[in-house]
Chain A
Amino acid sequence: MPVTSRAVPPAQARGTAPHPPHGAPGSSGAAAVRRSVRRRRRIAAIFLLPALLLLGALVAYPIVFSVVRSMYDASGNTFVGADNYTAMFQDPATLRAIRNSAIWVVFAPALLTGLGLVLAVLTEKIRWKTAFKLLMFMPMAISFLAAGIIFRLTYEQDPQRGVLNAVAVGIHDQFQGQSASFPTAKARLGDKQLTKGHDGSYRTTHRTGPGHIANLGLVGVAPKDMPSTARPAAPAAKSPAGSDELRGVVYLDFTPGGGGTPGTVDRAERGLPKLTVEAVDSHGKVAATATTGPDGSYRLPHLAPGSYAVQLPAKDFAAPYGGVPWLGPALITPAIIGAYMWIWTGFALVLIGAGLSSMPRDVLEAARMDGANEWQVFRRITVPLLGPVLGVVFVTMVINVMKVFDLVYIIAPGPVQQDANVLALQMWLVSFGGGNNQGLGSALGVLLLLLVVPAMALNIRRFRRSQS
């Protein structure tokens, strides 16, 4: 018989009589009723047996086992009480996992719900919204492993392989111009003409003035690093400068195959293209800037009379911009959260979209008629009316995020795994992945369970309310 009056199935809640007893309707007497009751219970037991057996042995028993096991040490022989739980908050690796899990819980659900809401509202009005939702929902079908491989590739550091860094480098070069740099280039040892600055720049030791030529020779660029566009510098090295300008070449002071005189522009020596050259006046201010041509030639025009040093700024020697280290220790967790959002945004979008389409149209229309703009409608009407749906999405994401394991395990490369660690992964590592401390592992499992208890209570409450 039902124990509580609230949690009865809807058919009974509708006010009809309880199930009629089984067996022949005409048979009477206490013995017959008892027999039929016993028979019904036996049938119910048969229907329930497989489920209860599996749930009991593989879900309920493990919970009890884990709680008990978590109070023993690694070997399992010594009772240690709550030591594993206190150790959890002293072990740096576990602490980092807890911290990262907290980052996940704080950011991922909020970002997902927000993005889902924005996209749901925007897609409402477009004609191809079904196609869009289908596309966004597709990642939900694939495994975390496949998604992990996809994003490992996307986040690849080398801009020649990872699309994200290819875009990052493209944008960077767009803003920084097309200037080149030769990280290995330097002045010849003992060169008196060039002086190295503290920031890695080079400038001419002797100051010079407009109307002069200053040729700057560098060494240390390997043949493979020379751009194929580089041309011999000698022809341009002697072209005369106008009275208000400084001219010259920046060249590789090295003749392939030997020969050549250090400090002079020999016939076979090539210019260093696309380098930035600056004229620095006596106050240390940059008076003019130029970029070298294919033959290394530069021209610093419109100089006021005075003495100048010709400078190759530090960026001529900087390593080329290599993109963002997405998979490095600092960005690994945000990067994995990004991959997670790629998977789950469609879920939020579809759920919130369903909530939107069931919203009373006339309320929105009335507000618009009264002169409310779209933002006001969104802020004052759409969001409050969607409250319950947003809550469901948010809570669902919180529960899911706490158990995240596969994505972190797959995307984080070995050396940064510790930086990306989360609770579920740490539980795995401690128990099976080399840690081999099943006491602490069990404690982490119990902690994971405790963290979802509020969700459990919420489920039960929601269910009981739906039944009453």
Chain B
Amino acid sequence: MTTAQGTAVPRKRATARPVKWLSRGVMQLFLLVIGLVWLTPAAGLFLSSLRSEEANAGSGWWTALTAPSQLSLDNYTTLLKDSGIVQAFWNTVLISVPTTLAVVVIAALAGYAFAWMDFPGRDWIFLVVVAMLVVPVQIGLLPVAKLFGALGLFGSIPGVVLFHTAYGLPFAIFLLRNYFAEIPKEMLEAARMDGGGEWRIFSQLVLPLGRPAIASLAIFQFLWVWNDMLVALLFADNESQPLTVALQSQMRQFGSNIGVLAPGAFLSLIVPLIVFFAFQRHFVQGIMAGSVK
């Protein structure tokens, strides 16, 4: 084998080839093991969610690999009959979708203003927004809870949405302002010459041109809110709590609640996973851009 190919490649390489093949094999094996290690915990949750309470109490989920007859959808049908969990699922939707819309719209308006409008203090205000990128939500919990209490927003979906929107804005404005600023000046000037008002330029030129950034932002923001627990833990009550909060309250009796927790966790992560596989590219870009947070 080595000699047959040896004519095509430099001689020095030819002798190194078997070593290379071996090391490549070891490398692939190593990565395969890492991949398996990464997959195992999630597979464990999934298989556990398909096993009965007794089965989960008595033996490991991996026994289902050799005895698939233990698997059934019973946990899921029970879970979907639990009105509290179903309510929590819809609350999650009712929190994440409006928040995403609000963040995108408000940040697009502001991003356009920061990128293309002249007003006093523009750059200083924008720097303040950049500074707010890394402000931890923790600092807002207590004061905003008091504020919402006074306004009657505490323990309601609108309260959760407002809080999330505010803390999503710095990054959103930062991202969109930078993206909008890359739009060629000539295009905007031509539109202004044609007598286009700011609103028309914004809605008919800037928004369509900014679609890729807006898509990444929307996906990032949606997942951020969908996956949140901390904010909802404080600002939502029993009626308005999302899935994450409803599930964490079952964690105390982890051992005996696995029949609810495993399918519940799966219910909560299936939506992000669908988003992930449907919009891979935007998803990765959104996360990458959002990492400055």
Q: Which of A37-45, A201-209, A241-249 contacts B (4 or more CB under 8 A)?
A: A37-45
The smallest C-beta distance from A452 to any residue of chain B, in angstroms, reads 5
Q: How far, in angstroms, from A449 to B137 measured CA to CA in the complex?
A: 9
B209 at the interface (CB under 8 A from A): no
B167 touching A63, Cβ below 8 Å:
no
Contact A446/B44 with A41-B119, A137-B284, A160-B60 known, Cβ cut-off 8 Å: no
User: Contact between B118 and A44 (Cβ–Cβ < 8 Å)?
Assistant: yes
Bound together, the chains give a CA A455 to CA B170 distance in angstroms of: 15
B231–chain A nearest beta-carbon distance, Å: 11
Contact B34 A143 (CB under 8 A): no
In the complex, residue of chain A having the shortest beta-carbon distance to the beta carbon of B110: A51
A55-B132, A160-B58 known; A47-B117 Cβ under 8 A: yes
Q: With CB as the reference atom, state the residue of chain B lying closest to A130.
A: B280
| Segment at the A interface, from B1-9, B74-82, B247-255 | B247-255
Within 8 A of A (CB), among B127-141: 127-141
Are A59 and B132 CB-contacts (below 8 A) given A347-B291, A427-B138? yes
B42 close to A150 (CB less than 8 A): yes
Q: A138-B276, A143-B272, A146-B269 are in contact. Are A51 and B169 (CB under 8 A)?
A: yes
Determine which of A126, A146, A163, A410 lies in contact with B62 in the assembled complex, contact meaning CB atoms within 8 Å.
A163
Query: What residues on A are CB-neighbors of B17 within 8 Å?
Result: none
Chain B's nearest CB lies how many Å from the CB of A170? 11
A350 touches B31 (CB 8 A): no
Per-residue interface assignment for chain A, residues 1 to 23, with 1 indicating a CB less than 8 Å from any chain B CB and 0 otherwise: 11110011111001010111010
Interchain CB contact under 8 A, B110 and A142? no
Kindly state the separation between the CA atoms of A123 and B124 in the bound complex, as whole angstroms.
43
Enumerate B80-129 residues with CB–CB distance to A below 8 Å: 106-107, 109-110, 112-129
B261 at interface, CB cutoff 8 A: yes
The reply to whether A459 and B292 contact each other, CB–CB distance below 8 Å, is yes
Across the interface, do B110 and A69 meet the contact criterion of CB distance under 8 Å?
Answer: no
B27 on interface, CB distance cutoff 8 Å:
yes
Tally chain B residues at the interface, Cβ within 8 Å. Answer: 110
- From residue 375 to 427 of chain A, which have CB atoms closer than 8 A to chain B? 392, 396, 399, 402-403, 405-406, 409-410, 413-414, 424, 427
Q: Specify which of B28, B41, B147, B165 is in contact with A154 (CB 8 Å cutoff).
A: B41
Flag if B122 contacts A2 (CB, 8 Å): yes
Q: For the complex, give the distance between the alpha carbons of A138 and B42 in Å.
A: 10
Contact present for A406 and B230 (CB under 8 Å): yes
B60 with A63: CB separation less than 8 A:
no
B residues 39-74 near A (Cβ < 8 Å) are 39-42, 44-45, 48, 56-62
Residue of B nearest to A13 (CB): B181
- In the complex, the answer to whether B130 meets A16 with C-beta atoms within 8 Å is no
Q: Does B258 contact A (CB under 8 A)?
A: yes
In residues 161-216 of chain A, which contact B (Cβ within 8 Å)? Answer: 161-163, 166
Report the minimal beta-carbon distance from A155 to chain B, rounded to whole angstroms: 9
Residues of chain B with a CB closer than 8 A to A137's CB: 284
Cβ contacts under 8 Å, B40 to chain A:
154, 163
A292 within 8 A of B: no
The answer on a CB contact under 8 Å between B135 and A63 is: yes
Q: Report if B215 contacts A (CB, 8 A).
A: no
| A150 and B169 contact, CB distance less than 8 A | no
B60 touches A145 (CB 8 A): no
* B275 touches A (CB below 8 Å): yes
Separation of A127 and B288 alpha carbons in the complex (Å): 24
In the complex, which residues 168-225 of chain B have their Cβ closer than 8 Å to any Cβ of chain A?
169-170, 173-174, 181-182, 184-185, 189, 192, 198, 202, 223
Q: Does B156 contact A (CB under 8 A)?
A: no
- On whether the beta carbons of B116 and A9 are closer than 8 Å, the reply is yes
A409 to B167, CA, bound (A): 21
**Which residues of A in the span 121-169 have a Cβ within 8 Å of any Cβ on B?**
122-123, 125-126, 132, 134-146, 148-154, 159-163, 166
Kindly list chain A residues whose C-beta atoms are within 8 Å of the C-beta of B118: 1, 18-19, 40, 44
Asked if B265 is at the interface of the complex by the 8 Å CB criterion, the answer is: yes
B261 touches A149 (CB 8 A): yes
A43 to B192, CA, bound (A): 14
- Pick from B24, B39, B62, B143 the residue with the most CB of A within 10 Å: B143
Contact residues, A60-79 vs B (CB, 8 A): 60-63, 65-66, 69
Partner pick for A163 among B60, B268, B272, CB 8 A cutoff: B60
A396 touches B27 (CB 8 A): no
Q: Are A145 and B140 in contact (CB under 8 A)?
A: no
Which residues of B are found within 8 Å of A347, using beta-carbon distances? 287, 291
Binding site secondary structure of chain A: helix
User: From residue A322, how far is it (CB to closest CB) to chain B in Å?
Assistant: 14
Contact of A58 among B114, B140, B252 (CB under 8 A): B140
Would A44 and B117 count as touching, CB distance under 8 A? yes
| Chain B residue nearest to A136 in the complex (CB) | B38
Contact of A399 among B62, B125, B134, B288 (CB under 8 A): B134
The reply on B241 being an interface residue by CB < 8 A is no
What residue in chain A is nearest B124 (Cβ atoms)? Answer: A3
**Residues in chain B near residue A153, CB distance under 8 A:** 41, 44-45, 48, 61, 258, 262
Q: Is the CB of B141 within 8 A of A445?
A: yes
Residues of B within 8 A of A135 (CB): 35, 38-39
CB < 8 Å neighbour of B143 from A1, A66, A396, A413 = A66
Q: Which residues of A contact B244 (CB under 8 A)?
A: 143, 145
CA distance A135 to B280 in the complex (A): 12
Cβ–Cβ contact B124 & A139, under 8 A? no
Contact of B142 among A143, A152, A445 (CB under 8 A): A445
- The listed residue (A2, A19, A166, A442) touching B60 by CB distance below 8 A is A166
CB–CB A126/B31 < 8 A: yes
What is the CB-to-nearest-CB distance from B17 to chain A, in angstroms, rounded to a whole number? 14
Interface contact B27-A122, CB-CB below 8 Å:
yes
Residues of A within 8 A of B136 (CB): 402-403, 424, 445, 448-449, 452
Contact call A149/B45, Cβ cutoff below 8 A: yes
Contacts of B48 in A (CB 8 A): 153
Q: Most chain-B Cβ atoms within 10 A of its Cβ — which of A40, A62, A65, A402?
A: A62
Report A-chain residues with C-beta under 8 Å of the C-beta of B129.
Answer: 55
Tell yes or no: B144 within 8 A of A by CB.
yes
Q: Say yes or no: A4 contacts B123, CB within 8 Å.
A: yes
A145 and B265 contact, CB distance less than 8 A: yes
A463 lies within 8 A of chain B by Cβ: yes
Q: Is the CB of A119 within 8 A of B27?
A: no
Give the residues in chain A near B143, CB-CB below 8 Å. Answer: 61-62, 65-66, 69
Cα distance, A146 to B137, chains bound together (Å): 21
The reply to whether B265 and A146 form a contact with Cβ atoms under 8 Å apart is yes
Could you list 5 examples of A-B contacts with CB < 8 Å? A3-B122, A410-B229, A410-B251, A413-B254, A448-B139
Given contact pairs A59-B135, A65-B143, A142-B268, enumerate 7 new A-B contacts (beta carbons under 8 Å). A50-B110, A145-B244, A150-B42, A160-B58, A405-B230, A445-B141, A448-B138
